Chains A and B, each alone.
Chain A
Amino acid sequence: MFNSVGPPNGRMSGHRDVVDITDLSRAVLEEVFKVASQIENQEIDLSHSLDGKVMALAFFEPSTRTRLSFESAMCRLGGKAITFLEPVMTSAAKGENFADTVRMLDYYSDVIVIRHSVEGASRFAADVCNSPVINAGEGMMYHPTQTMIDLYEVLKCLGNIDGLRYAVVGDLRHARVASSLIRGLMMFRPDMIYLVSPDRLRVLEETRRSLSAAKIRFEERTSLAEVLGSVDVIYLTRIQRERFGDALEYERVKGSYSFVEDDVKKMKKDSIVLHALPRVDELSPAVDRYPQAKYFEQAKRGVFVRMALLNMVLR
């Protein structure tokens, strides 16, 4: 079910890592959603399922929701979380390499949750650690647990993930939540995925190639207005300022799209608006009061999904 990566030193193999959404099969995802739903509906009690277990949170990039929801999830399962608040407070600031840092965390914990700007960091950590590694956001491509939450929210709101029309909107070049969601959708059967972005922020060629190989219908657009009334799910992303090497390049695209009250009025009544948050100026707070606005509910459900995942990985 899970990807098994044997560490090169041969200490142990077959542990359960979640590095990319495609490491999980559709069946495993559906099992996570089922357990998350049971937790949410208070049909099962997992409050002591991870008693005595320790989760290490190794966040080398800023985070609010992801870090706190993992922490909350572990506490609600009876386990404990250890963390460093800033990499600058660790030996990484003294020049310690990443491998040595995660090896140490491996000795201190039962599961390691990593966020890093360097691509491949989680897979490498999975190579050097015995404990399972969960990727909590990496580079411009990977955020598997956010994708689980996004798909779970779609499932809870619309009753299905297959057969729907999706518009993934915004910074499709740099936003890992978008790349990861698109790869996650490839495991299902969406009717259509519209990739809506300014020209400078279009999806990477690799994503385009993968969608074609998976025979998923998709179209690239520069305007959301053309598809607004026909889609079931609008997934907004902010412009990822921190991923621009060139400040001038960021200035060129800053504020180039925004989802406002007039837009939500043109949507189908039973469609939904999702956003992984935080938002900047791409999603107006005036949208919040409409029934289609599901992003805070989505963030709330992140705890249930991460509880289900931690429970699955550690038991």
Chain B
Amino acid sequence: MAKIKNGTVIDHIRAGRALQVLRILGIRGDEGHTMAVLMNVPSRKLGKKDLVKIEDRAVQPSQAQLISLVAPEASLNIISDYEVKEKYKPQPPEKVEGLVRCPNPRCISNKPEEPIVPKLSVESKDPVMLRCVYCRAVLLGDEISTHLVE
């Protein structure tokens, strides 16, 4: 697979989770980025892994934190002029604010008329479990990508 000139490579994504990572990044496929998504490829470290390369796309720190929740082993490589400019492993946050919706439809944080920012505390990092600070409903790691704030 060709190297990208500028952009982001997200490596060591837990096998089968690349599509969740793309959802966190808000990538639907029609943005025009040159992109590669590899899934279930052999990995010395993980046995199998997924990998995502995106040309001309930076990852926001808040997105990196969410990625660390669905793909705890993931590493981010910032590519500039074909070189790895920076490499880091995003750390899971203690609290997720304004990024993920509470899964409970009866929760006040899902009422559009209220001036409220959804807040979930990270109760467990492995397995990932978030808890709404308002109604205490639980959101599991696999559900994060389908509960992103639009």
Contacts and interface: CB of A to CB of B under 8 A. Distances in A.
A106 interface: no
A141 B131 CA distance: 14
A25 B25 CA distance: 41
Contacts of A20: 136
- Most chain A CB inside 10 Å of its own CB: which residue of B104, B107, B113, B134: B134
Given A119-B134, A141-B136, A206-B138, A124 B114 contact: yes
B135 interface: yes
Given A98-B114, A99-B116, A121 B138 contact: no
A6 interface: no
Contacts of B102: 120
A80 interface: no
A221 interface: no
Contacts of B108: 98, 118-121, 123-124
Given A118-B106, A119-B106, A97 B114 contact: yes
A119 B102 CA distance: 11
A97 B113 contact: yes
A118 B112 CA distance: 13
Interface string A78-119: 000000000000000001011100000000000000000111
Contact of A118 (B107, B117, B133): B107
A179 B74 CA distance: 38
B25 to A, nearest CB: 27
Nearest to A116: B108
Interface string A1-34: 0000000100000000000100000000000000
A139 interface: yes
A120 B138 contact: no
B133 A123 contact: yes
Interface residues of A, number: 16
Nearest to A141: B136
Nearest to A183: B136
Contacts of B117: 8
B115 A120 contact: no
B109 interface: yes
A119 B114 contact: no
Contacts of B132: 120
Given A99-B114, A99-B115, A119-B104, A124 B138 contact: no
A20 to B, nearest CB: 7
Interface of B: 102, 104, 106-109, 111, 113-117, 132-138
8 contacts: A8-B117, A95-B113, A119-B104, A119-B108, A119-B137, A120-B102, A120-B108, A123-B133
Given A118-B106, A123-B134, A139-B106, 18 more contacts: A97-B113, A97-B115, A98-B111, A99-B114, A99-B115, A119-B104, A119-B107, A119-B135, A120-B134, A120-B136, A121-B108, A123-B108, A123-B133, A123-B135, A124-B108, A124-B114, A141-B135, A206-B138
